[in-house]
Amino acid sequence: MDTLLPLLFFIIMGLSVLAYGILDGYDLGIGMLLPLGNEADKDRMIASIGPFWDANETWIVLGVGTLLIAFPEAHGRILTALYLPVSLMLIGLVMRGVAFDLRVKAGPNKKQRWNRVFFAGSLLTSTTQGWMVGAYVTGLQTGMLSTLFSALIALLLPAFYVFLGSAWLMIKTEDALFDKAARWGRRALLPMAGALLLISIATPLVSDTIAARWFTLPNAVGLTPIPLTCVLVFVAIAGFFTRTPKTVYRYSWVPFTGAAIIGLMAAIGLFYSLYPYVVIDELTIWETASATSSLEFVLVGIVITIPAIIGYSIYVYRIFSGKATDLDYG
C-alpha cells in the first residue's frame, strides 16, 4: 500500500491534467478563434461552450489539488519555479470569465471590447500553460536551452487548442459556421502536426533522462506504437477533411476524437518519460509523497469526488448535446 498509493495519486493527477487539456483546451481554442467570426458567429461560438466550461475547468482544480495534498514538497517546488506563468494564467482565466459575462450584459457598444478581452485571456492562458509544460518537462531548469524549449511550447500549444476548438465547433454548429470551423480545422492541422513534431525532436535534446528512456533498446521498439498512432491519426484526419461536405458534416466528431487520441498518446509518452519522478531528476513519487495515513484519508474524498465530477460532466454534456442554440444570458 505504501508503494501503490503514491503511484495511484500520481496517475489521478496526470489523468486530471489530461482531461483538462482536452476539455478546457477546446474552449480556449474557441476563444482564440473568436476574432475570425462575424457577430452572429461569435455569439454561437460562445454559446457552444457556455454550458460546459465550468465543468471542464474542474479538472485542473482536481489536478493541482492532488499535487498539493499528495505531493506537497513537489507542489512547493513546482509552484515556486512557475510563480510568474501561473499568476499570468490565472489572470487570463479571470479575463475570460469576466468577458464571458460582460460581453452582452455591458451593452452592444462595448461588446467588441469584451470579445477582445475574451480572446486575449484565452491566448494568455494557452501560452502560459505551454510555458509551464515546457518548464516542467525540462525539470524546472533555468538555463538557456530550457528557456528556449519553454518558449517553443508556449508558442506551439495554442495550435493544438485551436484545432480542438475548431473540431468542437464542427460538432456543435451547422451551416456557414460549420463550414468556417472545418476550414479553420484544416488550416490548424498542419501547424499542430508541426508543433508536436518539433516538441518530439526538442524534448530529448533538453533532457538526458528522457533521451535515454526513448532512444535505447529495447525501449525504442516498445514505444513505437505511440508516435505511430499519432502519425496514423494525423493522416486519418487529413484524409477526412478531403471527403465530401456531406460526409464531413455527418461524421463531424472525427477531428475532435482524433485530437483526443493524440492528446492521450502524448500524455502516455510524458508519463513514461517522467516516471518515477514528480520533478524530473529531483523528486520521485515516493520521496515527495505525503504520509500513508494522510493519503488513505484523502483517498476517501477522491473516491467520492471523481465519480461526482464525471457524473456531473456526463449530465451536462447529455443535457446540452446537439447543435448550439442562440446565446441567451437571461
300 assigned to some structural domain? yes
Of all residues in the chain, the percent with pLDDT exceeding 90 is: 26
pLDDT score, position 1: 47
173 assigned to some structural domain? yes
C-alpha atoms less than 13 angstroms from C-alpha of 103 in its C-beta half-sphere: 24
159 assigned to some structural domain? yes
59 assigned to some structural domain? yes
Among residues 158, 161, 166, 157, the alpha carbon closest in space to that of 187 is found at 166
The pLDDT tens digits for 292-319 are: 888 888 889 888 988 998 898 888 888 8
327 assigned to some structural domain? no
147 assigned to some structural domain? yes
326 assigned to some structural domain? no
pLDDT score, position 123: 95
The pLDDT tens digits for 9-23 are: 999 988 998 898 898
CA distance 57 to 293: 29
CB-count burial class (<10 Å; 0-12, 13-18, 19+) for 121: buried
Tell me if the bond preceding 191 is cis, omega within 30° of 0.
Answer: no
Q: Which three cell numbers stand for residue 64?
A: 493541482
266 assigned to some structural domain? yes
CATH of the domain at 164: 1.20.1630
- pLDDT band of residue 327 (cuts 50, 70, 90) is low
The pLDDT tens digits for 85-135 are: 999 999 999 999 888 888 877 666 778 888 899 999 999 999 999 999 888
CA distance 200 to 198: 5
The pLDDT tens digits for 159-184 are: 999 999 999 999 999 889 999 999 99
Q: Is the pLDDT of residue 201 over 70?
A: yes
- pLDDT band of residue 328 (cuts 50, 70, 90) is low
Q: Which three cell numbers stand for residue 203?
A: 524534448
Counted domains in the chain: 1
Domain ranges, residue 292: 4-319
The H or E element that residue 284 is part of is strand 283-284
